Amino acid sequence: MFTPDMIMDGNLGMIFLHDWIITLDLREGRGWIIRNPEARPAPKAALPSKSSP
């Protein structure tokens, strides 16, 4: 889908998306956002451990 007038302003990220429910109506150009009522504390981000060769 190509939308030349769409503004791409970064990545919301999984931690943000864990806590919010986002609905987009691309045809009408509108959106809704509400807090996720079932969200529990987000898991801590962890870097993968480096394995030895």
The string of pLDDT tens digits covering residues 12-49 is 777 777 888 889 999 998 999 999 898 887 667 777 77
- Residue 21, both tokens: 């429910």
List C-alpha distances in Å: 20 to 6, 23, 29, 41, 51: 21, 10, 19, 12, 35
When comparing pLDDT for 2 and 20, which is higher? 20
Determine contact, residues 19/39, Cβ cutoff 8 Å. yes
When comparing pLDDT for 38 and 9, which is higher? 38
Confidence band (pLDDT; 50, 70, 90) for 10? Answer: low
When comparing pLDDT for 7 and 24, which is higher? 24
